[in-house]
Structure 1
């Protein structure tokens, strides 16, 4: 069996559709149905018919991805879909051969495989950095091969956490080569593998997140969140370890921190998703503490039920997940304390932007 990554658009525009309908597709909606494309060259011809102006390299790249969807994937293969709208990953199993949904109004949803989605909210914090690197490939469709990827992704489905590579030989292979390799090439051995550019911003964010949870796990995360709030002109006080009222920090504006908005904060640094009772506890504490707003820091993300509950309290409760915390660290890094910056040394790098589809 093989593991594949199929993205859902550069902005995640096909995510909800994919999860709700049990499908996953490649885009490239202008390309005609591929039922008669029994060879890779047939797919190249179909792609060239509509994308010839894009150049030979782009045509070969698009054709390789569509051939993977049309001819290389198999029923029982694993599909991973990194989500854009939440810092999570969806995992499923292919249940059908290639299909073309001619009646689908959105042409970008027509070339598909049917998927039985097993997990739709695996937090990125539960996946190790080398595997996350693989999932940063820019290509819409690619095969994930390196670092014992298939075993680890299937274990994520079964246990909800990435166990890492199984043995020393796999680990040695990972150490001796780039941290991830994906392939969109032909089945033939002479060009079956090719390195694909990765989303450097995504890789950097995952790297920073890995360092953050390594250094600031547990109650130290509360101190980091407090620093971020202070960088945003809040007076912030740590509530103290050992309290049992669901509050870790209190913050407010003004000299004494008593002016609105007055915020109570609950910090959960574990890799597992936060459940709805935690959200309800924070919402209930607003009135008890005479606070205006509640902030839940959920490093490992939220369960479906918790996310739905947060949405119903949207004007009272906000959530920072791992990506939000990393984004705020990057935005306010120079305003953080010297001790925080010593434990989390960062530097800014500018690079040309690329779009991932």
Structure 2
């Protein structure tokens, strides 16, 4: 039986709803037609009626992807979906036909075509070889997974890491650029995870400086739940005063840790809690119910913040995390 990988929207934004809902989806209306009963040429014709301004190349690419989703992915096929927030590949089996789900209301999107999935196991990205990471970050929204890569995913789900291998270049297109940008985010996360805990604190301070704040680091060992103070004056005397706690570990931060951090803040403070291991649902709840502004940043959010502000980063920050800009033909 074949295996497929499908991207859960840009940046994996739809991954949580797919996991919780037990499905995968593509987000086109196509007039609610039963696309599983259509040939590829029929889907092309239908796509042209819905998107008359689309180029021939776009029609061919999207119609092919829609046909694969509705027809070539059979019941029992293996599907793989990546969640950037947790750095986990979710692997499951398709358990139902292709069905159209209309929009909930007039302000919603155009609806979606869905396939029910029984999610069976997860594989951490960190346990995969460079070759497997590269193949799973390919240019398409939906594409076949090689037998070798699927074997790596299954091994990784059992905690067996793979050796790094060389990667190959991808061809130039807008979809390539988008996929490459997302792959770049993942590569940066790989590098950030290799930083020492003190470099991690300095990196977070550098990001805040790139956003216009001045920062001061607290004394080691007795910070009382605060690693960095950021403010307009650098002394913590002017508002907004941001108190920052940085946790560089694999484990998700719990509610007690958040309560302890919030308890050490002044009423006029804002709190920023950075955790490369993410946060439990209870911890997120604690932050939401706090009386002062509390912002939680997981690894994915932190790296995207770094990328967005890297042009303004100082030399100290760039030394901790060297990045290069890639230019593409317009």
**TM-score tier after normalising by the smaller chain length:** 0.7 to 0.9
> Equivalences for 1:66-215 in 2 at 5 Å?
66-83=66-83, 86=85, 91-101=90-100, 105=104, 108-117=110-119, 131-145=132-146, 148-154=148-154, 163-165=160-162, 174-175=165-166, 178=168, 197=176, 199-214=179-194
- Structure 2 residue corresponding to 1:47, chosen from 25, 44, 48: 44
Instruction: Say if 1:333 and 1:197 are closer, same or farther in 2 by CA, change over 3 A.
Output: closer
Q: String of CA shifts for 1:238-285, please: whole Å, max 9, x gaps.
A: 234434733222333326332222222211222443333322222222
| Structure 1 residue ranges without an equivalent (≥5) | 182-195
Instruction: Say if 1:255 and 1:271 are closer, same or farther in 2 by CA, change over 3 A.
Output: closer
Instruction: Say if 1:317 and 1:62 are closer, same or farther in 2 by CA, change over 3 A.
Output: same
SS in 2 for 1:260: coil
Instruction: Say if 1:117 and 1:282 are closer, same or farther in 2 by CA, change over 3 A.
Output: farther
CA distance in 2, matches of 1:156, 1:314: 42
CA distance in 1, matches of 2:4, 2:289: 35
The question of 1:298 aligning with 2:297 is answered no
Q: Residue 28 of structure 2 contacts residue 110 of structure 2 at CA under 8 Å; is this kept in 1?
A: yes
Q: Residue 248 of structure 1 contacts residue 266 of structure 1 at CA under 8 Å; is this kept in 2?
A: yes
Equivalent position of 1:320 in the other structure = 297
TM-score normalized by structure 1?
Answer: 0.71
The question of 1:266 aligning with 2:245 is answered yes
Equivalent position of 2:30 in the other structure = 30
* Deviation (angstroms), 1:220: 1.7
- Structure 2 residue corresponding to 1:338, chosen from 312, 315, 319: 315
Q: Residue 264 of structure 1 contacts residue 291 of structure 1 at CA under 8 Å; is this kept in 2?
A: no
The Cα RMSD (Å) is 3.9
Instruction: Say if 1:339 and 1:50 are closer, same or farther in 2 by CA, change over 3 A.
Output: closer
Instruction: Say if 1:238 and 1:256 are closer, same or farther in 2 by CA, change over 3 A.
Output: closer
- Number of equivalent positions: 319
* Deviation (angstroms), 1:100: 1.6
CA distance in 1, matches of 2:2, 2:271: 44
SS in 2 for 1:139: coil
Of 292-301 and 135-144, the range deviating more from structure 2: 135-144
